[in-house]
């Protein structure tokens, strides 16, 4: 008989591929939820139940899941997984593939501490599997209550959890690290929605506008320029706030003086995010070219709210390639140490 595979890893891989392909959340949850439940079974019970055919009696385990587990334990790649893998290939052109390959990590991702769907360690494991050196964990800040933004106390707590998970990676000889961070709201006056003390302790700070998106252009410009001048902010997230498709409907771009904003980014050596979420694809290419001409640095990020979405970086890469953004202008082509040093240089 073939060696058994890890059925839980197979279930998580299925969830990852479904997410990446934008499948309905409930289908993804079925697999991820089953994996989490089965992980809690006492040693040997999974095997015993598959043998006895009683796996389905467990709540949250459906026919497809049970079949996948059985195939996996028998040492075969589950048929369901094999089909997904076969259709999961992305046809990237050469330049996009090369840029994607040059990225060492992702600077914008959420966990279930704010409005993401998965725990920190699952996001981290998925990022490591993609081949990243690091993932910057950027959950929301307090004022974004709809997204369960983290209070100063919860962020403190999160920092301790991240340190523990990283110590675990180190313990098993993995070089992958979670970098600490935040997606901090840029408030109406351009200030940032977290204490200076905490912002100063984070590896990387993404700042985004999530409120008053219809501010008058001069107000919005001042707001963004003020935020870019703040030594704590490293990356300006999804700068226009537009939504071009998807369940939340569409939303027009915020209006601001792009040249002035991008000039401020250059002056303070901050990065403009190229957001890879399909409903954002922000900034639009028109502005991406303006930012490039201004001399900006960029960060190609997924803004992932689930593990499978960590694979959306190719969206941002293909846009960067289309606009002629060279790899050395993209901060996440740097290794983790250099990235953190670049971010830290803003406070000096
Ligand atoms: Zn955001
Ligand atoms: Zn975000």
Predicted local distance difference test score (pLDDT) of residue 236: 98
State in Å: Cα 158 to ligand 1 middle.
19
Residues 6+ apart with CB under 8 A from 208: 183, 184, 185, 186, 236, 237, 238
- For all residues of the chain together, what is the average pLDDT? 94
pLDDT tops 90 at residue 3: no
Which ligand places an atom closest to the C-alpha of 116?
Answer: 2
Predicted local distance difference test score (pLDDT) of residue 21: 83
Q: Which of 85-99, 205-219, 239-253 has the highest mean pLDDT?
A: 205-219
Edge-to-edge order in the sheet of strand 105-109:
105-109, 134-137, 177-185, 204-208, 235-236, 271-275, 297-301
Least confident of 76-90, 120-134, 266-280: 76-90
Residue 87: exposed, middle, or buried by beta-carbon count in 10 A (0-12, 13-18, 19+)? exposed
Predicted local distance difference test score (pLDDT) of residue 1: 53
Per DSSP, the chain holds a count of helices (H) and strands (E) of 14, 7
Average pLDDT over residues 9-35: 88
State in Å: Cα 67 to ligand 2 middle.
36
Q: Distance between CA 206 and CA 300 in Å, rounded? A: 12
State in Å: Cα 341 to ligand 2 middle.
23
Average pLDDT over residues 42-68: 92
State in Å: Cα 106 to ligand 2 middle.
12
Element (H, E) at 253: none
Question: Confidence band (pLDDT; 50, 70, 90) for 2?
Answer: low
State in Å: Cα 37 to ligand 1 middle.
31
State in Å: Cα 303 to ligand 2 middle.
5
pLDDT tens digits, one per residue of 121-157: 999 999 999 999 999 999 999 999 999 999 999 999 9
State in Å: Cα 207 to ligand 1 middle.
8
Would you call the peptide bond into 283 cis, given omega within 30 degrees of 0 as the criterion? yes
State in Å: Cα 8 to ligand 2 middle.
28
pLDDT tops 90 at residue 252: yes
Predicted local distance difference test score (pLDDT) of residue 23: 80
Average pLDDT over residues 152-181: 97
Least confident of 86-90, 123-127, 209-213, 254-258: 86-90
As given in the structure block, the two tokens for residue 194 are 């977290």
State in Å: Cα 143 to ligand 2 middle.
14
pLDDT tops 90 at residue 319: yes
Q: How far apart are the first and last CA of the chain?
A: 62
Predicted local distance difference test score (pLDDT) of residue 292: 97
State in Å: Cα 120 to ligand 2 middle.
15
State in Å: Cα 76 to ligand 2 middle.
38
Which ligand places an atom closest to the C-alpha of 108?
Answer: 2
State in Å: Cα 94 to ligand 1 middle.
30
State in Å: Cα 83 to ligand 2 middle.
31
Average pLDDT over residues 36-44: 93
pLDDT tops 90 at residue 90: no
Which ligand places an atom closest to the C-alpha of 243?
Answer: 1
Q: Which of 11-15, 30-34, 342-346 has the highest mean pLDDT?
A: 342-346
pLDDT tens digits, one per residue of 190-245: 999 999 999 999 999 999 999 999 999 999 999 999 999 999 999 999 999 999 98
**Shortest CA distance to 124 belongs to which of 307, 289, 313?**
307
State in Å: Cα 279 to ligand 1 middle.
12
What percent of the chain shows pLDDT beyond 70?
99
């Amino acid at each position: 008989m073939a060696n058994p595979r890890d059925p839980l890893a197979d279930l998580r891989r299925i969830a990852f591929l479904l997410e990446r392909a934008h499948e309905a959340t409930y289908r993804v949850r079925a697999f991820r939820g089953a994996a989490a439940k089965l992980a809690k079974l006492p040693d040997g019970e999974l095997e015993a139940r598959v043998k006895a055919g009683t796996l389905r009696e467990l709540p949250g385990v459906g026919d497809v899941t049970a079949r996948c587990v059985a195939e996996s334990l028998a040492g075969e790649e589950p048929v369901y997984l094999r089909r997904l893998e076969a259709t999961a290939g992305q046809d990237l052109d050469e330049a996009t593939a090369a840029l994607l390959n040059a990225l060492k990590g992702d600077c914008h991702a959420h966990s279930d501490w704010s409005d993401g769907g998965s725990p920190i360690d699952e996001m981290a494991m998925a990022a490591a599997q993609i081949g990243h050196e690091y993932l910057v964990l950027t959950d929301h800040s307090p004022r974004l209550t709809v997204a369960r933004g983290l209070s100063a106390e919860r962020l403190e707590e999160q920092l301790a959890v991240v340190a523990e998970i990283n110590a675990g990676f180190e313990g098993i000889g993995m070089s992958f690290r979670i970098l600490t961070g935040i997606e901090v709201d840029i408030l109406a006056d351009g200030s940032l929605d977290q204490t200076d003390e905490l912002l100063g302790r984070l590896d990387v700070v993404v700042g985004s506008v999530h409120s008053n998106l219809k501010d008058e252009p001069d107000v919005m410009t001042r707001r963004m320029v003020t935020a870019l001048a703040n030594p704590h902010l490293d990356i300006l997230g999804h700068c226009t706030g537009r939504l071009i498709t998807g369940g939340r409907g569409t939303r027009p771009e915020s209006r601001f003086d792009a040249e002035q904003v991008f000039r401020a980014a250059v002056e303070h050596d901050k990065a403009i995010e190229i957001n890879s979420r399909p409903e954002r694809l922000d900034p639009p290419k028109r502005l991406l070219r303006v930012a490039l001409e201004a001399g900006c640095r960029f960060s190609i990020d997924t803004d992932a709210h689930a593990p499978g979405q960590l694979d959306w970086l190719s969206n941002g890469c293909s846009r960067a390639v289309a606009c002629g953004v060279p790899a050395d202008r993209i901060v996440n082509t740097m290794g983790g140490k250099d990235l953190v040093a670049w971010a830290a240089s803003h406070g000096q």
